Amino acid sequence: MAFKEHIENTLRISPEPTPLFKMILSATGITTPLIIGYFTNHLFVSMFGSLMGLLYYLNDPFGPLVKRSKHLIVTFMLLMFSLSVGAFCVGNDYLIVGILFVLSFIVGKSKDFGIDLERLMLFITLQFITASSEVVMQLQLQDLILYSLFAFANYIFWAAILFKAIRHEIFPMVSKRESVKNIISHNKSSYFPLVCAIFSCVGYVAAKMFKFSHANWIVGTALIVMLPDSYKSIYKSTQRIIGTTVGVIIAAAVITYIHDPKLLITFIFLLSFLMPHGLAKNYWIANIYIAAMILFFLEIAAPSSIATHHLAFWRIIDILIGCLIGVLAALIMKPDILIKSTKTLSH
């Protein structure tokens, strides 16, 4: 395939329209906990609740309301268990690496069995690695779980309201229990899951050795972009770098001049409203909205932390390193990619 075609595949915009109900659900599910947190002076934990709202949206299969609710209940319970285990492991790097290896291996296995299961396992792993990386997660665990519960109830409320108000399309759902059974019984090669597990753990250990403050950003990115299809993995890595860089630059420019939580929450509302549209168009566009949103979350939770800790710069660096790990894994999976690409460029 010509190099130009690879670029086109990476940046191609999908013509698929985005249903309005998804945009409304995303905005209300993500922003409402922040609004409540602002009026109750609990902005830090409410920021985490909003992040959970984002995870609920990304894990929503949009199937029949009852089945969909059951899926989200299981999602909530597993995410809270992962959060608790991660908080318990803070400071114990050996235990963290061991659990990360197992979870990353399962994530690798799940990537061949449907997007719903893959996302669930991915976010369970991201929840664990994030909770285990921050002492504050351990200290405020109870409040974090309570706001996560509120975010869950809020998401289900808006999902039910919009389902009744807008009789939107229902997508077929695959039982997670059946998907897990398929993973266990399937004899497919464990090479890719093993690559996922090894590279995730190597990324975590390297981040700790070189004293990166957000090892979870590096590992999380690597897990997201590593795919069984090496070309798609490289595409996704490139898309994430582009989207994150653009989103972080925009958010950092806004935060330089605007610090009022009310205005930042308004920006988050707009970004979360637009995010489903971005997801439908291309992963790099969605990452512009998500990356900017994450930076606004951090500024709301800890005012001026973006400037004092150079978080915008380190966010881009950490995502870049995570993507490079993903690309390296892709080349390990299919080493002839480099040779073919070199020949294509020479022509």
Stated length of the chain: 347
Helix (H, G, I), strand (E, B) or coil at 62: coil
pLDDT of the residue at 213: 82
| Residue (of 133, 128, 139) closest to 211 by Cα position | 133
Coil vs helix vs strand at 260: coil
In the numeric block, which tokens belong to residue 48? 């985490």
Rounded to 5°, angle at Cα 13 from 11 and 14: 135
- Separation in Å, CA 10 to CA 3, 224, 239: 11, 16, 6
**Domain residue limits, the chain:** 3-346
Question: What do you get for the CA distance between the two ends of the chain, in Å?
Answer: 12
Query: What is the model's pLDDT at position 345?
Result: 46
pLDDT in tens, the chain (347 residues): 556 776 777 888 888 888 899 999 999 999 999 999 999 988 888 999 999 999 999 999 888 888 889 999 999 999 999 999 999 999 999 999 999 999 999 999 888 777 778 888 999 999 999 999 888 888 889 999 999 999 999 999 999 999 888 876 676 666 666 666 666 666 667 889 999 999 999 999 999 999 888 999 999 999 999 998 888 899 999 999 999 999 999 999 999 999 899 999 999 999 999 999 999 999 999 999 999 999 999 999 888 878 777 889 999 999 999 999 999 998 888 876 655 655 554 45
Going from the C-alpha of 40 to that of each of 44, 139, 269, 303, the distances in angstroms are 11, 19, 19, 17
| pLDDT recorded at residue 2 | 57
* CA dist., res. 236 & res. 117, Å (int): 19
Burial classification of residue 30, based on how many CB atoms lie within 10 Å of its CB (0-12 exposed, 13-18 middle, 19 or more buried): buried
